[in-house]
Structure 1
Amino acid sequence: MQTTDTDLLFQTDKDIKDAVRRERKLKVTQTIGRPISLSSKVLRVLVDGDTAWTAESGWQARAIDLKTGTTRRLFRGHTGPVTCVALCQGQAGPVLLTGSWDKTIRVWDAATGVCLQTLQGHSDFIKSLTILPGPALLSTSSDRTIRLWDLRPLKDGAEPKCVQILRQHTRPVECAAWRSGTPDYPECIVWTGDSLGVMKQWVYDEKAVSLRLDKELKSHETSVSQLRSCAAGVWSASMDNTAMLHRLDDKPIIRITESTYIRSLLPMEHVDGAEHLLLTGSDDENIRVYDVEDTERGQPRLLATVPGHAFQVSDLSVWSDGEKWEVLSTSFDQTIRRWTLSDLLHPKSIPEAEEPEEEDKNGGMTAEEARELEELMSDTD
């Protein structure tokens, strides 16, 4: 196959066919999940109040008004895809922190979009940012390290300081999660996961702003794509097509197995009316809804498979306006979609997408002309 379209260079026929399929799917799903269309792939989303903060492949972060679906502000300055976002308080109000493939963490005035500081130290892609009590920032990277930054200087307008570098992982550290202490487990616990499937559990000391390795958890066969804490412990999603609940009380692991990579997940235990649900977002472009209180042989019962996106589901979050709530899903299809509980439990089917006209598939010929040419080419008389 030859092409003069530079966008198609170095793509296989399958890649091009998939791109065409996704374009058709986007057209027939314009009303499913009330999509907000963006200009680049959404890698992560953080919801705060009525604002969704997105990390995007287009070298930018974005603040979106969830009531109107419009962009409030763009945060531009990175020289690579923005992989993660986090929020904390600064001297004059909220600050946005962004991590990027350009190996830096940027600190922005969330209200004005002005870049206040650029934090350097990592020697490879930034993979995740997590705000810990203190406040402190935990950053993970493809350079196989975890860095802990003291954010308290931000209150005085000064630059955060890196106070600890941890090198216990032997592969790129993809993600992190934490949970505060409880009467049963008084210590603040942090979990990290890497591209080899290894998960480590840490104890966080807020006063000292430091982490101490507690133990390594039995985990996945390959990359851990996301971690989400819950009352029982931590859920992990992986490229080995599984999600797992690792319990603090050392009871048996609960495991979910799907047919494709699981990119994202969301325990719903703090959402009224959905406390027993867990959502996953996968490479097959679907969201799945599980009942974690109804398990058979350790596998939560699948309640629904929710179609709508036209590319892998990269992240999941919850938005509440005080009266009702919606789940937000993001995707490499450059949309954010919004789902009510009814949408999730009773998903709409996707209308069948129209195939391209036959003359397009045959190099501009009509179907009849293509058949005549085929007959001529195969004529051996």
Structure 2
Amino acid sequence: MLQSDADNYFQTSDSVAEQKRRQAKADNKNGNPVALTSKILAIHADDQDPDAVYIAEAAGTARRVVLETGDKSTVYTGAAAPLTSITTLRSPSAEPILFAACWDKTIHSWNLKTRKPIRRYTGHSDFVKCVLATEISGTPVLLSGSADSSIIVWNVETGRKIHTLKGHARAVLDLALDPAKTTKDELFLFSADTVRDILRWKITLDSAGQMLAVPLRVHETSVNRLRFEDSLVVDADDADADADLWTASSDKTAQRLVRSRDWASDTTLSHPDFVRDIVIDQQAGWVITACRDEEVRVWGSSSGKLACVFSGHFNEVTGLALMPPAQGSRASRVVSVSIDGTLRVWTLDPAEMKKVQEEYERLQQGIEVEAEPEVKKESMLTAEEEAELAELMDSDDE
């Protein structure tokens, strides 16, 4: 049934109710939100500053955000389309660089210090979905995965292609280096796509190819994120704990694939909606997931049990970054970003998480204090771009 209210023409009763629900929820201060004027599509921790992150926005800007102060004035501009992924490269042979995958089929790059654009990497024939930067034999390289189903390895300094990897049948959604096998001269890369395939590659400056013809298939549909455990902090006496792989999927699960069992899954974390991202606090024993249902969840990595739900976002959570403890604390933090245009910071202190979970359970039982709805922010995208962005997000889950 359509509403007769002139402000809600052509909207169903359900869509109007959902809009009102989000407006009411938008006023909450959980996670000390930092508000942006655009949808946030990706996040990357600043490896030189334990209190800062980089974010990619649908408005085509990249930005550095300081967590303690909320300062968001360091902006990288030049792209005219949504940025879908972001990463940095700090090399002894070059100035530090920020890279952002873009909807315009290219990768944009900036000098991290001066914020001046460096170059655009052009070669994909569709949206660039993911980027990763590293070195091979002392040469800075950029790896990009695209909706055109290819992965390109670029020479950062020249902007030229080193390799083009073909093997995926659909869009490539994420890339991750195996920390237990990658060396200074060889990259061991895992890549994931919208079909559900996870492929493995061995890459040098002179050659690149799939390690095995048969892909890993543990999910029913799109694999949105690949995250390895840190092989440097695992117990050396535990042969089974050597940089296992965690995955996040649109089949509404996150899974752990065990290296010593030929990447068989031994843990499944079930969610009510698509799982968009996953990070691992291995020393504390936590796995944190981002879900399309607006929630951030913390799980025991050994037990697979849900420990806490961080509720505050009022639209899909798109990315997570694990951060060191704040000054005066010993617990790590997780930063989440969302389509709602906010960045939020959550502590992984067990005592604080217990309080948060108790409050969350009370709210689920209906003991809720209504908040004054705030005025909905105007999007920086046109109606057509909004629809196209929604289609882009949903296309990963077909």
Q: Give the number of the structure whose residues are more often strand, by fraction.
A: 1
2:294 — aligned with what? 285
- What residue number does 1:333 align with? 340
Return the match for 2:277 from 242, 264, 285: 264
- When residues 12 and 174 of structure 1 are mapped into structure 2, their CA distance, relative to the original with a 3 A threshold, is farther
Structure 2: runs of 5+ lacking an equivalent: 230-241, 374-398
Query: What is the alpha-carbon distance in structure 1 between the residues aligned to residue 31 and residue 166 of structure 2?
Result: 42
Equivalent residue, structure 1, for 2:377: none
Q: Give the drift of 1:172.
A: 0.7
Matches within 5 A, 1:279-358: 279-294=288-303, 300-320=304-324, 323=327, 324=329, 325-342=332-349, 343-347=352-356, 348-349=359-360, 351-353=368-370
Q: Which residue in 2 is equivalent to 1:212?
A: 210
Give the deviation of 1:233 after TM superposition. Answer: 2.5
Displacement of 1:341 = 1.6
Shift of 1:150: 2.0
Unpaired runs of 5+ residues, structure 1, are 154-158, 295-299, 357-381
- Calculate percent identity across the aligned residue pairs: 28
1:112 alignment partner, SS class = coil
Q: Deviations over 1:51-96 (max 9, x none)?
A: 2110111111111122311113222221211001111136662111
The question of whether the paired residues in 2 share the 8 Å contact of 1:54 and 1:61 is answered with yes
CA distance in structure 2 between the aligned counterparts of 1:196 and 1:95, rounded to whole angstroms? 32
Preserved contact between residue 181 and residue 188 of structure 1 (Cα < 8 Å): no
Match of 1:233 in 2: 244
Matches of 2:260 and 2:75, distance apart in 1: 43
Question: For this pair of structures, how many residues does the alignment match?
Answer: 334
Distance 1:133 1:53 in 2: 21
The answer to whether the 8 A contact 1:65-1:72 is kept is no
Q: Which SS does the other structure have where 1:193 is aligned?
A: strand
Give the 5 Å matches for 1:1-381: 1=3, 11-27=11-27, 29-30=28-29, 32-48=30-46, 49=49, 50-89=51-90, 93-134=95-136, 135-151=140-156, 153=157, 159-181=158-180, 188-205=187-204, 207-208=205-206, 210-214=208-212, 215-230=214-229, 231-250=242-261, 252-253=264-265, 254-269=267-282, 271=283, 274=284, 276-294=285-303, 300-320=304-324, 323=327, 324=329, 325-342=332-349, 343-347=352-356, 348-349=359-360, 351-353=368-370
Give a deviation string over 1:22-77, Cα, whole Å, max 9, x none: 111011x22x1111111111111111113211011111111112231111322222
Which region of structure 1 is more displaced relative to structure 2, 42-51 or 347-356?
Answer: 347-356
Contact 1:62 1:71 in 2 (8 A): yes
113-122 vs 66-75, greater mean Cα deviation:
66-75
Contact 1:180 1:188 in 2 (8 A): no
* Corresponding residue for residue 383 of structure 2: none
User: Which residue identity is paired with 2:323?
Assistant: W
The 10-residue stretch of structure 1 (102-111 or 251-260) with the greater mean CA deviation from structure 2: 251-260
Is the contact made by 2:59 and 2:80 (CA closer than 8 Å) also made in structure 1?
no
* Deviations, residues 118-164 of structure 1 (Å, cap 9, x unaligned): 1110111010001233232110111111111122x2xxxxx322111
Q: TM-score, normalised by structure 2?
A: 0.77
Q: Distance in 2 between matches of 1:25 and 1:173?
A: 34
SS at match of 2:321: strand
In 1: Cα distance, 2:77 partner to 2:111 partner:
12
For residues 104 and 345 of structure 1, the distance between their equivalents in structure 2, rounded to whole angstroms, comes to: 44
CA distance in 2, matches of 1:301, 1:284: 19
Q: CA–CA distance in 2 between the matches of 1:209 and 1:88? A: 22
Question: In structure 2, do the counterparts of structure 1 residues 266 and 212 end up closer, same or farther at CA, with 3 Å as the change threshold?
Answer: same
TM-score, reference length from structure 1: 0.80
CA deviations over 1:208-238 (Å, ceiling 9, x no partner): 3735333410221111111111143221111
C-alpha distance after superposition, 1:275-297 (max 9, x if no partner): x1101111111111111212xxx
CA RMSD of aligned residues (A): 2.5
Q: What SS is found at the alignment partner of 1:216?
A: coil
Q: Which residue identity does 1:257 align to in structure 2?
A: S
* Bigger Rg, structure 1 or 2: 1
